[in-house]
Structure 1
């Protein structure tokens, strides 16, 4: 599964993926390529989220809150004392809703998905799996290893920036593949590869857009600008620091040549012992990323509505002015 980087044409070692500093909204704080103060960049998944129809997700969350509340009567008692219009109480209600979702088991799939992602890293780094994993997890990893055997891992969990979108995120894998392509014709090269452990019935466009954005990213090594976010005073000073363009340039480096037309989705549904690969059309994905940029820019428009002033209102204003 693992591959010596020297075996891949034009590939080179990539920066380790360490924790990138975040702002109060959870956005990665990145020194712009041209220099300046660290700037919050939108997470890739958040950026493209506006292209998705989330009605099914919202309905699912509502159902789980209701189910969780039926199992946790104490949450209902606490909610009765709170005012949904009060800013402080809104936060408390959100926390109670999250606890209700957890009681319904809504977060269990997410935790399990993260765990499977962690196990797949063991596989792709060529390390032994933990001895404590279950037989079900072994079946999932066996399926993963079999299905991805045609992919040779070049890099794992790398953080990239797309300056033109002010977006940052971490892709799962950069993989080398040589064989039949999406149209059956031979294809070879490096491909952005992303593992999904949940259902892929919905969100196909978002997946394609996510991989398309990653494929156009630049590697960003935040360790060039060391800071300890737990040191509040030091972190506040760091966020106000003006870094030079020369300093910023040292943190950026290009990805190895990567296919920007196609990416690969690895679907590893939890506990089923099966794994399937899918081609993701990054041409469609990149067009959607541009659409997402247009939508997000439009949301900042503040003049879509204006006060209605009629002729009678104007006359009234004139009369009162005369009085």
Structure 2
């Protein structure tokens, strides 16, 4: 992708040729040039398209009219999305949750109510974490299961109670060292509405295809993987596993 982008933007190569990769400031500039080259090659096009479809789906789920400038292909995608998700009732949109026991957090797409046949064909009802994917889902099934499992076990977290300008490095560094009273920290958390922790739902909306499909995701498998990831993360910080071999002088 970088080579392809550079062939389309020779000015990027010229700008990079005078930079020293060992210099910290020049390294930042090289990274920025690399991103520009990847962008020129279309590496970020799918990501931008996916973000756009996510935005459009919010119009649908809020019951708002779609933008007038929407393309025919995007309109087909939204029609497919409306049809596929007609069995779901949106309870919450884009909510940030935190899972203190894993020291992670994230924003789920939807919390949706569903009543009907479950993954085993038997009746099921309740709130489900629902996540929309606009790219391929062939190779990320376990990651998605883990992601939704974490969301389902999270607590709503109001980060606006502790404001900070993350772009200001000094302010952000000082903020991270700030100690808040336990009572104040606890007030930032609130429980999710009752949510199914066994199953989640993936809404697969491949961009530009005019198709949309729903998939059940096993959150028990996902939760086991999330805890495994925590174990691995802790293991990576283990020190003292290897020591120099010292020969005894004779």
- The TM-score normalised by the length of structure 2 is 0.92
In 2, the alpha carbon distance for the partners of 1:151 and 1:283 equals 22
Match of 1:169 among 106, 130, 135: 106
Gaps of 5+ in 1: 1-63, 316-323
What is the Cα deviation at residue 281 of structure 1? 0.9
Match of 2:61 among 120, 124, 137: 124
Match of 2:45 among 86, 94, 108: 108
Equivalent residue of 2:206, what SS? coil
Aligned residue pair count: 250
- In the alignment, does 2:233 pair up with 1:310? no
Equivalent residue of 1:148, what SS? helix
In 1, the alpha carbon distance for the partners of 2:171 and 2:121 equals 55
Relative contact order higher in (CA < 8 Å, ≥ 6 apart): 1
- In the alignment, does 2:236 pair up with 1:282? no
- The TM-score normalised by the length of structure 1 is 0.72
Is the alpha carbon distance of 1:106 and 1:224 closer, same or farther for their aligned partners in structure 2, counting shifts above 3 Å? same
Instruction: Look up the match of 1:292.
Output: 229
Gaps of 5+ in 2: none
In 2, the alpha carbon distance for the partners of 1:168 and 1:130 equals 31
In 2, the alpha carbon distance for the partners of 1:242 and 1:256 equals 29
What is the Cα deviation at residue 95 of structure 1? 1.5
Equivalent residue of 1:105, what SS? coil
**Of 80-89 and 124-133, the range deviating more from structure 2:** 80-89
Match of 2:29 among 92, 98, 123: 92
- In the alignment, does 2:150 pair up with 1:223? no
Match of 1:156 among 84, 90, 93: 93
What is the Cα deviation at residue 115 of structure 1? 0.6
1:177-204 CA distance string (max 9 Å, x none): 1111111111111100000011112111
Is the alpha carbon distance of 1:136 and 1:289 closer, same or farther for their aligned partners in structure 2, counting shifts above 3 Å? same
Instruction: Look up the match of 2:183.
Output: 246
Rg bigger for which structure?
Answer: 1
* CA RMSD after TM alignment: 2.0
